[in-house]
Chain A
Amino acid sequence: MKLRVQVASTPAEVLRCQYLIAEVYNKEYEVVFSTDRYDLEAKIEPWPHRYFMVLDGAELAATLGLYQRQTYVERFGGVAREDIERELEAAGVKGGYDSSNLREVTKIVVSPAYRGRGLARLMVGCAHSRSFLSDGGDEQPLVVFCAKRSIAEKVHQAAGLRPRRVKPFPYYKVHELYRSADDPMDSYLIIPHLDVPARWYDLALPSDCDTNLMREEGA
């Protein structure tokens, strides 16, 4: 399947992404959203700041968001700068990154009509493009995310990324329909030049992709 991947850049594109995420998250996890408030016990989540689109022609097949500041793992996951510094040191790149300059990939949603075709893996790979993460600037942010282990394995790792598990993610009511004892949530760190394959990190956006490419590469 031939797909177009791009950053949502117009108000209409941002709204389309938000409505798809809201529809799926509310149906599957009973979550609602707000720009200016959050309450994880009341299942009110904060909206990301930036969105990534996977388009099949004019159809929005999949989307995800990016927190550019106040990341979820920092606000709710209890991940502190020392945790990030520890991971950077273990990776041998202490001093190479600003541990406070984080971006978080979040709210990965594939439209129900497009499931089972590897779109989540393709999208998550493409979204680790430097031009999405750093908004076209020269800075090199670190990437974090929180997810249940099955997603980190079947989506992130399967896309060729090498996420580093930082610490377990605390339990909140908002995740009661998402996580389970058998499939707990964790916070992860991705160090771009070590953990993101060049085919994703250097991907120019917008770009045309083919889901068959993922299969051919074994990703």
Chain B
Amino acid sequence: MTTRRLGPPPLPLPTALTSLVLEVPALDMVVQWRRCGVVADYVAEYLALSFEQPSYAQSVLSTVTNELVENAVRFSADKARPIRVEALHRGEVVELLVSNLAAESHILGLEALFADLARGDLTSVFRERVEARTRGGLGLLILAKDYGAVLGAMLALEQEARTQVTMQVVLPTKELSNP
């Protein structure tokens, strides 16, 4: 199996203190789209209990998780295959990993997005993408621009031009406290 990474090299992360793993069939969420929010809220509430300001942390974590889960479902190439959500509270950071099987067209979109992210000026990148009406990626850009999230994607090529994508979002815990 061929694997590669999009985004900056992986950071050395502290050991997980609290963790949660969920698997849900993508088709369940296609049938009831609100389930994306239900999963996001559940993950967020589970992790937020460890924060001094749980309601603020929960709100941010729910927003971030919902973006990842909705993308994973929308771009899932096999809706019968489960979406895997892994949430890890590592003390200084929270790491979210969401996996799905993606078609080649989605990989091309991700490559373009990470090339834009690497340019650094996220406000300009965001504006350009809105003006160009570039489909997809705006939600992920907002996570990086507004929440200080570090984004990465692990790609593992499977059969028939399909790739297992694991989106990684690392959020500094200071971003999860109300300023």
Contact = CB atoms under 8 A, between A and B. Distances in A.
Interface of A: 18-19, 22-23, 26-27, 30, 32-37, 44
A26 B34 contact: no
Contacts of B27: 19, 22-23, 26
A105 B29 CA distance: 24
5 contacts: A22-B27, A23-B27, A23-B30, A32-B33, A37-B34
A200 to B, nearest CB: 29
A131 to B, nearest CB: 27
Contact of A19 (B31, B73, B74): B31
Interface string B68-91: 000001100001000000000000
Nearest to A43: B74
Residue among B27, B29, B30, B79 facing the most chain A CB atoms (10 A cut-off): B30
A26 B74 CA distance: 9
Q: What is the interface of chain B mostly: helix, strand, loop, or mixed?
A: helix
Nearest to A36: B34
Contacts of B29: 32
Given A26-B79, A27-B79, A34 B32 contact: yes
A32 B73 contact: yes
A27 B32 CA distance: 15
A36 B73 CA distance: 19
Contacts of A35: 32, 34
Contacts of A23: 27, 30, 79
Contact of A22 (B30, B34, B74): B30
The 8 closest A-B pairs by CB, nearest first: A32-B33, A22-B31, A34-B33, A22-B30, A26-B30, A32-B30, A44-B33, A18-B31
Nearest to B35: A34
Nearest to B135: A173
Contacts of A30: 74
A22 B29 CA distance: 10
A39 to B, nearest CB: 9
A27 B27 CA distance: 10
A111 to B, nearest CB: 15
